[in-house]
Amino acid sequence: MSLVSKMESKSSATSPSERRLHKELLALIKEPPPGVKVDVDSVGKNLQEWKINIDGVEGTLYEGEHFQLLFKFNNKYPFDSPEVTFIGSNIPVHPHVYSNGHICLSILTDDWSPALSVQSVCLSISSMLSSCREKKRPPDNTLYVKTCNKNPKKTKWWYHDDTV
């Protein structure tokens, strides 16, 4: 039995947060936006952790590269934002992405809204990469990576630059 049919047969998901994640996952499997693919095997039983593969968009600095995002949800989702980081061997070199995978993106903390979704977060990250003009790490990368909390949501981000 595939995960999709397993999930479709699961008639009543329990908590509201699980119910919503369940619907989002189904939609993402059935109609994935270009360059975004959820790693179905990584999705745990309680839907609280997903791995999503995203491809560097053609015609951008990241063309041909593949990245992996880790989404962690708590039971307050969607009222609380997901924790999103790049994981794996290839962390994109980008002015808003630290080498430990943390992402400086306002919709992941201050500007989160329950009307956003996993898909819209993936697309925002993808477009953040696509609009990059020069591959480089954030200027404070070394210090940040040494001192930061493991959870990027604990960082008080200063969203200094929206143009990149």
Q: Is residue 113 a contact residue for another protein (CB under 8 A)? A: yes
Task: Based on DSSP, count helices (H) and strands (E) in the chain, helices before strands.
Answer: 4, 4
Phi, psi of 19 (to 5 degrees): -60, -45
Residues in the chain: 164
Q: Is residue 75 a contact residue for another protein (CB under 8 A)? A: no
Q: Looking at beta carbons only, is 1 or 115 nearer to another protein?
A: 115
Helix, coil or strand: residue 6: helix
Stretch that binds another protein, among 33-41, 49-57, 101-109, 111-119 (CB under 8 A): 111-119
Q: Is residue 78 a contact residue for another protein (CB under 8 A)? A: yes
Stretch that binds another protein, among 72-80, 124-132, 134-142, 150-158 (CB under 8 A): 72-80
Q: Give catalytic status of residue 148 as yes or no.
A: no
Stretch that binds another protein, among 20-28, 29-37, 131-139, 140-148 (CB under 8 A): 20-28
CA-based nearest residue to 25, from 155, 80, 42: 42
Q: What is the DSSP letter of 99?
A: T
Q: Is residue 80 a contact residue for another protein (CB under 8 A)? A: yes
Q: Which of 104, 122, 132, 148 is catalytic?
A: 104
Distance (Å, rounded) from C-alpha 103 to C-alpha 95? Answer: 9
∠ CA 126-128-134, rounded to 5°: 115
In the complex, the residues that contact another protein under the rule CB under 8 A are 16, 19-20, 23-24, 76, 78-80, 113-115
Any idea which residues carry the catalytic annotation?
Answer: 104
